[in-house]
């Protein structure tokens, strides 16, 4: 089954481009209730997997031993902007670990937050690994390796215990055998996990309602999702959908973007899990689809959707700062 038409990109009153993709909505019983496109589309969750990747930080005891605050834990689930609020915290975590920036194996890229990038250039400072949007996740991985007495140099490699624990969590929560999980390499060098989209939605349903899970895992999950919702600035930052969405949801829902057009949401109140994949991989369309899905499921109020308007109907501006286009969702959820 091919992708379905999800979003129009409007310019000059006509459709300039279209985004097609897939949506899977799973209820608290683990049943697929809505699906557009192909719910079995094997999808690299990319950074949407971060809340699951954080579970071993708590379960191993590393989070307690290194006294991870809620904000620290939220940062381990982040694709952050590289603002001071993020990088200062990365350095604090590394200090608690008695490790340096060089211990992070994520590589470097300019901070997503343009002002910070320009500030670094102007002041002649180096763009180090702390500005990598995944540096919080790498701090978490490093902390479990160190706490467990494992090698630190290669914590990012597929056969390292850090990565084995993560893939086992994914296999368990998403109910997919280990040998059916596709593996690739992420933008920051660690393994990424490819699973059917409906399994990804199931994973988020379990994060939203972990009642059926063993106490230890339930507790770890609740600590992580609470951290994301209590400290949403850590997950993205200024002008980021994940952050602004969780601020507006005030502890009811958590959401996480992934590269190549992925977005996942868990709703604590209903136990619903949602997974979205834009087939062409363009992240510009994900927030528009996410808000529209919540609206059609009646999971957000009219007022909330108004507050999210800039993400629901993102505007395109030109170099003269004129609004010259807009993204508009163009789908109806289909019963699975």
Cβ nearer to its own copies, comparing 5 with 309: 5
Question: Smallest gap, in angstroms, from Cβ of residue 235 to its own copies?
Answer: 19
* Shortest Å, Cβ 114 to its own copies: 8
Nearer to its own copies, 16 or 64 (CB): 16
User: 80 or 223: whose CB is closer to its own copies?
Assistant: 80
139 contacts: CB under 8 Å, gap ≥ 6: 72, 75, 76, 90, 93, 94, 97, 104
Nearer to its own copies, 122 or 211 (CB): 122
CB of 194 vs its own copies, minimal distance in Å: 6
Least distance from C-beta 105 to its own copies, angstroms? 7
Shortest Cβ distance from residue 198 to its own copies (Å)? 17
Q: Which is closer to its own copies, CB of 94 or CB of 190? A: 190
Q: How far is the CB of 133 from its own copies (least distance, A)?
A: 9
With respect to its own copies, which residue has the nearer C-beta, 157 or 164?
157
Distance from C-alpha of 231 to C-alpha of 104, rounded to nearest angstrom: 23
Q: What are phi and psi of 164, to 5 degrees?
A: -65, -45
Q: Are 216 and 60 in contact (CB under 8 A)?
A: no
Segment holding 331, helix H or strand E? none
In 3-state terms the chain splits into helix, strand, coil percentages (rounded to 5) of 45, 20, 35
**Whole-angstrom distance, CA of residue 133 vs CA of residue 167:** 21
Gap between the terminal Cα atoms of the chain: 13
> Among residues 134 and 201, whose Cβ is nearest to its own copies?
134
- Cα 32 from chain centroid? 21
Alpha carbon 54 to chain centroid, angstroms = 11
- Nearest Cα residue to 237 out of 134, 101, 112, 76: 112
Which residues of this chain interact with its own copies, rule CB under 8 A? 3, 9, 11-14, 16-20, 42, 44, 105-109, 118, 121-122, 124, 132, 134, 182-189, 192, 194, 260-261, 278-282, 318-322, 324-325
Q: How far is the CB of 128 from its own copies (least distance, A)?
A: 12
Opening angle at CA 11, ends 8 and 313, nearest 5? 50
């Amino acid at each position: 089954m091919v992708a379905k038409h999800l979003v129009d990109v409007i310019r000059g009153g006509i459709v300039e481009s279209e985004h097609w993709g897939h949506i899977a909505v799973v209820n608290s019983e683990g049943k697929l209730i809505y699906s557009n496109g192909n719910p079995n589309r094997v999808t690299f969750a990319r950074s949407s997997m971060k809340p699951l990747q954080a579970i071993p930080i708590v379960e191993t005891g590393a989070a307690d031993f290194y006294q991870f605050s809620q904000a620290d834990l939220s940062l381990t689930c982040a694709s952050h902007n590289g603002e001071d609020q993020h990088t200062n915290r990365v350095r604090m975590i590394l200090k608690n670990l008695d490790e340096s920036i060089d211990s992070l194996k994520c590589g470097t890229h300019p901070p997503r937050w343009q002002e910070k990038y320009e500030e670094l250039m102007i002041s002649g400072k180096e763009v180090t690994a702390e500005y990598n949007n995944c540096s919080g996740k790498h701090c978490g991985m490093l902390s479990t390796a160190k706490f467990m007495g494992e090698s630190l140099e290669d914590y990012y490699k597929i056969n390292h215990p850090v990565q084995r624990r993560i893939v086992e969590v994914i296999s368990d929560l998403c109910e997919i055998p280990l040998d059916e999980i596709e593996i690739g390499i992420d933008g920051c060098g660690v393994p990424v996990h490819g699973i059917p989209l409906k399994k990804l939605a199931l994973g988020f349903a379990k994060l939203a309602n972990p009642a059926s899970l063993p106490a230890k895992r339930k507790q770890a999950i609740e600590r992580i999702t609470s951290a994301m919702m209590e400290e949403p600035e850590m997950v993205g930052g200024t002008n980021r959908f994940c952050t602004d969405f969780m601020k507006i949801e005030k502890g009811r829902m958590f959401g996480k973007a992934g590269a190549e057009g992925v977005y996942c949401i868990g709703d604590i109140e209903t136990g619903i899990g949602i997974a979205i994949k834009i087939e062409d991989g363009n992240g510009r369309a994900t927030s528009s689809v996410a808000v529209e899905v919540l609206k059609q499921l009646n999971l957000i109020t009219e007022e909330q959707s108004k507050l999210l308007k800039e993400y629901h109907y993102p505007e395109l501006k030109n170099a003269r700062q004129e609004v010259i286009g807009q993204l508009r969702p163009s789908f109806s959820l289909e019963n699975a």
